[in-house]
Amino acid sequence: MTAVVTRIQVGGDRPYDVLVGNDLGGELPGLIDGAARVAVLYAAPLRERAERLAAALPGVTPIEVPDAERGKSVAVAAQCWDTLGKAGFTRTDVVVGVGGGAVTDLAGFVAASWLRGVRWVPVSTSLLGMVDASVGGKTGVNIDAGKNLVGAFHPPAGVLCDLDALGTLPADDLAAGLAEVIKCGFIADPRILELVETDPAGAADPAGKTLKELVERAIQVKADVVSVDLKESGLREILNYGHTLGHAIEKREKYTWKHGHAVSVGLIFAAELSRLSGRLDSATAARHRAVLEQVGLPTAYSSEAWTDLLSAMRVDKKTRAATLRFVVLDGLAKPGILTGPSEEMLVEAYAEVAR
């Protein structure tokens, strides 16, 4: 029986398809037509999967990089550029990133900066990568000042989300990915929340229909947004719901916390800010904690951390001059921006997390 592949188009100046399904390796050669050389970036745990994909590609240059956020650095990117230079990569060649969001962010940045931009394809192997990092053309690396502060908008030639890979993920990683899925439910598609609430076990079952539908719905939310606003000049900011505090937690933890875990806590904070500013009803704010805890995500953080977190949030990408800005909700699936909340309101919102 032929595997069913769902194709979700991301529009804009350089449209491309996100392919969701099982056993998608055969789709990769069609996305890189005309390439004489292909650099395949991967971390050690994905070596076998990367080698299987590479077997059908021309002129492969394998590049093994450190796993997870340790690989998202300027130093690692520079090592990749050196490898491309030695291999004679030209503008017709392609970079493929095989792995979770950190590896695909790095691969995209290497591709965006090599010869001012070559084609690239993320082959996402984590739930978080499928619904967040690999879709939308955001690429980048971390520096000491913060996460993703150096990067470029560089849409891929296509995206492969092979659901088979989810079967190898630890339960903790699947749950972390669900934080981004649930975020999409609150900002745009409430059916996502209903699916998780009705079948929380199925939401974390890689072989089940519920998770497949959740992946497709979350990708569709992101595709709809980035098709209109690639460079985060307006609408795309809504995808950062929960991320301002989330990124600050990641920085404070030196990126040892999973992104989805940090975003989960950030969603509680953002929901409480929404409520305190009079923009969100109490029931929808409370629904955040309930649905996140149903899939085992954290909803609290250290009460001692506020000063560090506030300092980190001041260099968030949404901040303008010294004015903090947060994505909030004006109701379910009605995102907006809160500009310059008082310090008293911020502290009160954090009290909902620090417990």
Convert the pLDDT of each residue in 191-237 to its tens digit.
Answer: 999 999 999 999 999 888 999 999 999 999 999 998 887 777 678 89
The model's confidence at residue 13, banded by pLDDT at 50, 70 and 90, is confident
Q: Is 39 one of the annotated binding-site residues?
A: no
Beta bridge partners of 326: 338
Q: Is 25 one of the annotated binding-site residues?
A: no
Q: Is 33 one of the annotated binding-site residues?
A: no
Domains and CATH numbers, the chain: 6-168 (3.40.50.1970), 171-351 (1.20.1090.10)
Q: Is 104 one of the annotated binding-site residues?
A: yes
Q: Is 222 one of the annotated binding-site residues?
A: no
Instruction: Tell me, yes or no, if the pTM score tops 0.95.
Output: no
At residue 1, the pLDDT reads: 39
Q: Is 253 one of the annotated binding-site residues?
A: no
At residue 133, the pLDDT reads: 78
Q: Is 180 one of the annotated binding-site residues?
A: yes
Q: Is 70 one of the annotated binding-site residues?
A: yes
Contact 112, 44 (CB under 8 A): no
Q: Is 105 one of the annotated binding-site residues?
A: yes
Euclidean distance between CA atoms 64 and 119, whole angstroms? 19
In this structure, the strands spanning 6-10 and 16-21 are antiparallel
Q: Is 102 one of the annotated binding-site residues?
A: yes
The mean per-residue pLDDT over the stretch 319-332 comes to 85
Q: Is 202 one of the annotated binding-site residues?
A: no
Q: Is 72 one of the annotated binding-site residues?
A: yes
Q: Is 272 one of the annotated binding-site residues?
A: no
**Residue in the structure block whose two tokens are 């719901």:** 241
